[in-house]
Amino acid sequence: MDQQPPGAPGQTPPGGPADCYRHPGRETAIRCTRCNRPICPDCMVSASVGFQCPDCVRQGSGTGHHPAASQPRTIAGGAVAADPRLITKILLGINAAVFLAVLANGALTKDLALLGRAPYEFGGPVEGVAEGQWYRLVTSMFLHEAWLHFAFNMLGLWWLGGPLEAALGRVRFTALYLLSGLAGSALTYWLAAPNQPSLGASGAIFGLLGATAVLMRRLNYDMRPVFMILAINLVITFNPWGGIAWQAHVGGLIAGALIGFGMVHAPRERRNLVQFGTCAVALVVVVLIVVARTAALT
């Protein structure tokens, strides 16, 4: 890591990349429009023009009054939270709780996994989403059987979720995660064999990866690391040995990238309309896919 010259943290020649003045080691090309100090996504507060650092926001809004009009906002317009990883932690906790429940009772996998339409056992009842068990589209997003599968997905959630949650805000991040996971489930339900069960948070994680790529492009970050991670994951997804529900990965990635684009590129004057309109369109597409596939299977 290059050392900064002596002086105030982050004070490097204007225009060049530098470490965030509040988080040494996080390189960024974005600077506060008031003090010109470099700021990372966790520290960026949306202003009327560009972004400001938390210190300038506090100075501008006063020490004793915090009117709603001057409430600090993230790059996507969400409220700046004291704990920018709260939803990420909650999602980790839900996945961990379900994983432990499955370890204690393996029959839960049969009840919660994504299944199109088929009997789980020879001669048993026909089950699946097409039989009205639509909850499987959601429950399968939090379901893992193997330690390695669980650990890999949760590591991805922690690495990608924290910065995205800080940049988008809690409500927008939650919508991104759930809709990406649902899109992955819907594409799996549509394209996979109806008797092929699938499970895992991979669709939602790939959605976070797609949104991360969009956010990094929006902030003019070096895109090579995220492209490398994406390439590695796609190679794993389409490995010749199979065993991976590639449909969930592709569905989540596409949904995450499109929703992320709507989140961070929405014009300020119509931000909520564009952002939540994008989420509504994604949800409608998911519903249409599920309804069409259900009609085809029944």
Active site amino acids: 202, 249
Residues 46/32, Cβ–Cβ less than 8 Å: no
Tell me the Cα Rg of the chain.
21
Q: Are 213 and 233 in contact (CB under 8 A)?
A: no
The CA distance from 65 to 74, in Å, is 20
Under DSSP, the state recorded for 159 is H
**Residue 254 phi, psi (nearest 5):** -65, -45
Cβ atoms of 235 and 243 within 8 Å: the answer is: no
Nearest 10 degrees: CA dihedral of 263, 274, 134, 210?
-30
**Which tokens sit at 33?**
């429009």
Residue the block writes with tokens 């560009």: 50
- The secondary element (H helix, E strand) that includes residue 127 is strand 126-127
Residue 27 pairs with which residues in a beta bridge?
Answer: 19
Q: What long-range pairs does 236-243 form, CB within 8 A, spacing at least 24? A: none
Q: State the distance between the two ends of the chain, measured CA to CA, in whole angstroms.
A: 60
